[in-house]
Structure 1
């Protein structure tokens, strides 16, 4: 007796169907299915309309899931690794992503936001990460080099002045 998945394959070949694209039943996912082709197409069109209406984005921000966040590691069973619990990783990430969006939009971390677009995708290791575009109100736009220097840094923080921040940057970057 053949396992069920092999039986289906043998039956398909016996029936004379050798092309994989002609096997099975085609199902069109609704555009409400997150991450489906139609959902992504709708999101692209929405993003293009937002940029057309409100102008080019002022900030491009990425957020990457850390599988060793305390909220994840604390809820693993003994011997489990984060990759054993994609449900937990996704749930914790989504909560942190919502907090980040609230900080940026409602909390006005960089100033007043006119419009924003964000999308979650998954890296090769299966970890979620976010791409965020912010379009700022006129009074919150970056206008000078000093404005940019105030919010963007490409330097490792000073170990003496900011030891915790230094250690975090060195560890995660």
Structure 2
């Protein structure tokens, strides 16, 4: 861990701060996992070897997608920090100078924090409901995990009050409870993928 940190600091010294911070988390409900476990009486958490192996395949595809399909623009470099307890990876993206300091018009299509109309895009609505909703975890009408904070230099994403909501545990949750995501990546990988602009 210390070596990873020192490597990251050396890269930041050379390239500057990263532009995007992405958390990509394994989905134990992926069809491949279900297919493997269909004839045995085990749960996904009983086979961490399968989850880790499948996550590594998906992570490699994810990185290839970012590098070759230029989803956020042209990358200079990316860093991965994996944790194997519940397989997930933290990814820092350093963008080419042409894609640094983007405008609002550039960022809004890349990072979204809004629930779509269920009639317009039922697949995306379902994925957001399953993977990208934070809460409910309210104490005194405030998030106990300070998720909705918009101070200390955190980016403020467009969260229109458009009347769309999802329901979790009997609570209606609106755009203020959506974790920042990228529509393309969420649909392609069907997992919790938090995309944050961090520069």
- TM-score normalised to structure 2 length: 0.63
2:18 to 35, 57, 65: 57
- 1:142, 1:148 within 8 Å by CA — same for their partners in 2? no
Residue number in structure 2 paired with 1:137: 96
Q: Deviations over 1:76-99 (max 9, x none)?
A: 142111011111000000000111
> What is the root-mean-square deviation of aligned Cα atoms in Å?
1.3
Contact 1:114 1:137 in 2 (8 A): yes
Q: 1:117 aligned to 64, 68, 79, which one?
A: 79
Report the 3-state secondary structure (helix = DSSP H, G, I; strand = E; otherwise coil) of the residue aligned with 2:50: helix
> Whose strand proportion is higher, 1 or 2?
2
Q: Is residue 48 from structure 1 mapped to residue 30 from structure 2 by the alignment?
A: no
Q: Which has the higher contact order (CA 8 A, sep 6+)?
A: 2
Secondary structure of 1:170's counterpart equals helix
Alignment match, 1:153: 112
What secondary structure is seen at the aligned counterpart in 1 of 2:109?
helix
Tell me how far 1:106 sits from its aligned partner.
2.5
1:36-87 C-alpha deviation (Å, 9 max, x unpaired) = xxxx222111111111111111101111111111111111142111011111
How far, CA to CA, are the matches of 1:142 and 1:68 in structure 2?
A: 37
Q: Which runs of 5+ in 1 are unaligned?
A: 1-39
Q: Distance in 2 between matches of 1:130 and 1:143?
A: 25
Of 64, 79, 85 in structure 2, the residue corresponding to residue 102 of structure 1 is 64
Aligned partners of 1:137, 1:105: CA distance in 2, in Å? 11
- The alignment status of 1:165 with 2:124, answered yes or no, reads yes
Structure 2, unmatched stretches of 5+, are 133-199
More helix by share: 1
For these two proteins, the number of residue pairs brought into alignment is 131
Hey, what's the Cα distance between the residues in 2 that align with 1:69 and 1:102? 19
- 8 Å contact from structure 1 (residues 50, 115) kept in 2: no
How far apart are residue 142 of structure 1 and its match?
A: 4.2
